[in-house]
Amino acid sequence: MNLVFLTDHMKFSGGRRLMFDYASYLIEKGHNVKILVNEERGELAGTVPVTVIPEFTREYIPDCDLIIATSPKEVRQAWDCRRGKVVHFCQGFELTDLEHRLSGKVLPPRFQGKGFFHALKIFRKKFTWRRKYKEFDEVYKLPTYLISVSVHLQKELEERYKRPAPLCRNGVDLNMFYPNPDWKPGTFSEKRPIRIINIGPIEVTYKGIQTTLEAVEKARKKGIPIELTRISPIICKSEQGRELPYKLHEKVPRDLFCKMMRESDVYISNSTEREGFGLPAMEALASGLVCVFSNILCYRSFSQRNDHCFFVPEWDADATVNAIEKIYRMSPEELTQYRKNALEVASGFSHQKACGEFENILQKISEEKN
């Protein structure tokens, strides 16, 4: 197949890294693959061969069988250039987050506040969000070929847009994500606090990081010793220029990311239903961590069992505190069993299998007659 992948730059995100992983696999399988970017800058620069072009237009995008893009903006550009069939690789559903903002259910930290002027600011901002919602919805309505990364996303897309959205669940490279070989069961104490890890930019509302931080603060007030580490591709304004009650790491290389995951005890994600698959959560399970997940569809779809993690309601910091306290009071035997269960669930999510499935779906789309 002649394939073109589009992404504007090479800054780190889980979704962009996954696209590059799939592109690399397809190159190895002998397909003619071009990865087009507007700028070769960011943490992922050098990980895959790319071609820099000034804009995603017909003038610069070559004829091909398929153009694969993820963001609505790039899907629209791919469609407008008319150079090949367009594959909308859906790794999340942006409209859910915008619906939450418009309803007032959740707001990014930079838009939180009180008073008349704050209310006026939000009133004006909602015009932007409504415009963006309409633009994104129109992109999803285009007759592109959809690929989804989780069962709930597949169902949502197929119900809303009345066309197939074949499932290609993400996988984990188990050669990189594996449990700490030196881990020994024990109990937590002031001298040996719980090492909790949390992933993502604090300003990305659907990651639910504000809920996680609130829960950790409340747990500490209850006397639970916690060492919290956050990893983010960017440092947002709310985390700049002040002392933080946690360690914050930016733009962590992949090998160090895997090491930091292995050396933690607990992974917490309070993501909302906007989450597409939740790859860091699966990577945490593969690293043998005891996990606390929000009770959302993508995390529930990992397994039908309930003994591999703790589920807490969406937005619920108090329930997250209760989960942290249960982990704190676990016996060494209980900790060992949770880690074993986590590894069993993660073992069903092979990266190689996901790559092969992605290739098969693209092949079927390529061979389908217009």
User: pLDDT for 82-104, tens place per residue?
Assistant: 999 999 999 988 888 888 788 77
Contact assessment for residue 120 and residue 268, using Cβ atoms and an 8 Å cutoff: no
Secondary structure, 3-state, 332-356: HHHHHHHHHHHHHHHCCCEHHHHHH
Secondary structure, 3-state, 166-187: CECCCCECCCCCCCCCCCCCCC
- Per-residue pLDDT, averaged over 10-19, amounts to 88
pLDDT score of 326 more than 80:
yes
Sign, CA torsion 102/105/109/115: positive
Question: Which pLDDT does position 235 carry in this prediction?
Answer: 86
What distances in angstroms separate CA 98 from CA 105, 186, 204, 231, one per listed residue? 10, 44, 12, 25
Question: Which pLDDT does position 188 carry in this prediction?
Answer: 94
Q: Are strands 2-6 and 32-37 parallel, antiparallel or unpaired?
A: parallel
**Dist. CA 162–CA 113, nearest whole Å:** 39
Please give the share of the chain, as a percent, with pLDDT higher than 90.
75
Question: Which pLDDT does position 111 carry in this prediction?
Answer: 66
Helices 72-81 and 116-141, packing angle to 10 deg: 40
Q: Does an H or E element contain 205, and which?
A: none
- Per-residue pLDDT, averaged over 12-22, amounts to 90
Question: Which pLDDT does position 116 carry in this prediction?
Answer: 66
Residues linked to residue 90 through DSSP beta bridges, in sequence order: 148
The single residue listed with the structure tokens 């990081």 is 209
Domains of the chain, with CATH numbers? 2-171+351-367 (3.40.50.2000), 194-346 (3.40.50.2000)
Question: Which pLDDT does position 239 carry in this prediction?
Answer: 87
- Per-residue pLDDT, averaged over 119-142, amounts to 88
Question: Which pLDDT does position 125 carry in this prediction?
Answer: 81
Question: Which pLDDT does position 195 carry in this prediction?
Answer: 98
| Cα–Cα nearest to 175, from 347, 44, 16 | 347
What distances in angstroms separate CA 244 from CA 52, 219, 317, 320, one per listed residue? 38, 16, 19, 20
Q: Could you give phi then psi for residue 208, rounded to 5 degrees? A: 65, 25
Kindly report which listed range (71-75, 204-208, 260-264, 338-342) carries the lowest average pLDDT score: 204-208
What distances in angstroms separate CA 249 from CA 28, 212, 233, 244, 319, one per listed residue? 33, 17, 8, 12, 27
Kindly report which listed range (187-196, 200-209, 222-231) carries the lowest average pLDDT score: 200-209
Question: Which pLDDT does position 70 carry in this prediction?
Answer: 96
Q: Are strands 66-69 and 85-90 parallel, antiparallel or unpaired?
A: parallel
Question: Which pLDDT does position 109 carry in this prediction?
Answer: 63
Say which DSSP state 196 is in: E
pLDDT score of 14 more than 90:
no
Cβ neighbours of residue 334 closer than 8 Å, sequence gap 6 or more: none
- The whole-model pTM stands at 0.85
Mean pLDDT taken over the chain: 92
What distances in angstroms separate CA 300 from CA 85, 151, 296, 342, one per listed residue? 33, 10, 6, 13
Amino acid at 91: Q
Token duo for residue 15 = 């979704």
Question: Which pLDDT does position 117 carry in this prediction?
Answer: 65
Question: Which pLDDT does position 244 carry in this prediction?
Answer: 93
Q: What is the pLDDT of residues 229-286, one digit of tens each?
A: 999 988 888 888 888 999 999 988 889 999 999 999 999 999 988 888 899 999 999 9
